[in-house]
Amino acid sequence: MLGAQVFDAGGQRWTLFLGNAAQCAVEEQYGKGFFAVVADAVPDVDAETALAIASAMSGDAMPSLSVATMEKMASAMRRVRLSVLRDLAWHGLQRHHPGVTLDEVSDVADQLGQHRFGEVIGNAIRAAQGRGEGQKEDDRPVAPGKPSTRRRAPTGKGSSRNGPAPGSTSPPSG
């Protein structure tokens, strides 16, 4: 399934897919569009701040950051809604793991760690937007099961490409 995120946690293989059914369930739960929910859960941050947040969430040593970047990071971290990320994962897991509970999703998040959990959800969100794995370099999706075609030279004899040869006659149409 294009866009499905497969990962292991707690000795189990999980498949998270934010397809149409999951997106509709999120919209019904929150009373607004899927990508509006995503935008509310994950603040817009610049690359330096995002890197600092990822380092902090993964437990890596913090890079040397300016005071301004630290303030932006703290502000962005206050706006991240972990409950919404958990809900997105819960809805995305339902297709392949019916009956999975919010507590189980929280346990999965704890086992993966916030950085890896966020990575899985981020990949699923990008796939829901039509981006992610299976993308062409210009960010257009590759059609599943369809190899890209190469441009070929015209086929056939030169006379057939350029119309009938001078002095030839066409058979009568009937």
Which range, 12-21, 52-61, 107-116, 128-137, is most confident? 12-21
Whole-structure pTM value: 0.61
Residue 155: pLDDT band by 50, 70, 90 thresholds? low
Residue 136: pLDDT band by 50, 70, 90 thresholds? very low
Domain annotation covers residue 140? no
pLDDT for 111 equals 94
Domain annotation covers residue 56? yes
Strand (E) or helix (H) holding 71: helix 67-79
Which value, to the nearest 10 degrees, does the dihedral of the CA atoms of residues 16, 46, 83, 90 take? -10
Domain annotation covers residue 161? no
Average pLDDT over the chain reads 74
8 A C-beta contact, residue 132 and residue 120: no
- Residue 38 shares a structural domain with residue 93: yes
Residues 74-81, mean pLDDT to the nearest whole number:
70
Domain annotation covers residue 1? yes
- Residue 52 shares a structural domain with residue 94: no
- Residue 4 shares a structural domain with residue 38: yes
Greater pLDDT, 26 or 80:
26
Residue type, position 55, single letter: S
- Residue 97 shares a structural domain with residue 66: no
Residues 19-23, mean pLDDT to the nearest whole number:
94
- Residue 124 shares a structural domain with residue 63: no
The contacts of residue 171 (CB under 8 Å, 6+ apart) are none
Residue type, position 82, single letter: L
Site of tokens 């706006």: 79
pLDDT in tens, 61-72: 555 667 776 676
The whole-angstrom distance between residue 55's C-alpha and the CA centroid of its chain comes to: 21
- Residue 49 shares a structural domain with residue 128: no
Site of tokens 């257009």: 140
Least confident of 24-28, 31-35, 108-112, 140-144: 140-144
Structure tokens at 28: 């019904």
Residue by residue, DSSP assigns 105-151 as HHHHHHHH-HHHHHHHHHHHHHHHTT-STTB-TTSPBPPTT-PPPPP
Domain annotation covers residue 149? no
Number of domains in the chain: 2
- Residue 32 shares a structural domain with residue 85: yes
Domain boundaries, position 73: 44-80
Task: Pick the closest to residue 96 from 81, 111, 83, 108 (CA basis).
Answer: 108
pLDDT in tens, 32-49: 998 888 877 776 655 555
Domain annotation covers residue 121? yes
pLDDT for 24 equals 96
- Residue 33 shares a structural domain with residue 68: no
